[in-house]
Amino acid sequence: MNYTKEQILERCNQFTKNTLMETLKIEYIDAGEDFLTAKMPVNPAVHQPMGLLHGGASVALAESVGSAASFFFIDPKEQEVRGIEISANHLKSIREGYVFGTARIIHKGRSIHLWEIKITDEEGNLISLCKLTNMVLDRKKS
């Protein structure tokens, strides 16, 4: 990555405007050479009917952070990222507080990025374990 931590976080938080990430109140909070972390509040807006964090909200957090992380390994003028597969194992439930999604690169190829995203609670307990595959595409010339 050729960006500072501050540049990464500012850019990620900027491009969430008017998106699902803004609706879910996802905020990017930490970044490093091989990871990106975002947090999301757990409240009734992301609950399923039993009052627990909805698995779909967890997956939305995972795909958001993994896709954003891939963006920093490409040339955005020439390439773009598309999520092509995501899997999730929901291991623990949570009713309130925050969850944190941390994406760590497993494979960084020219055309495929593979990420592991761990979603944890405020105490560091593992809530969900996700795997995201992103495809890197050349931008179409107009």
DSSP 57-123: HHHHHHHHHHHHHHHTTS-TTTEEEEEEEEEEEE-----SEEEEEEEEEEEE-SSEEEEEEEEEETT
Catalytic residue IDs: 63
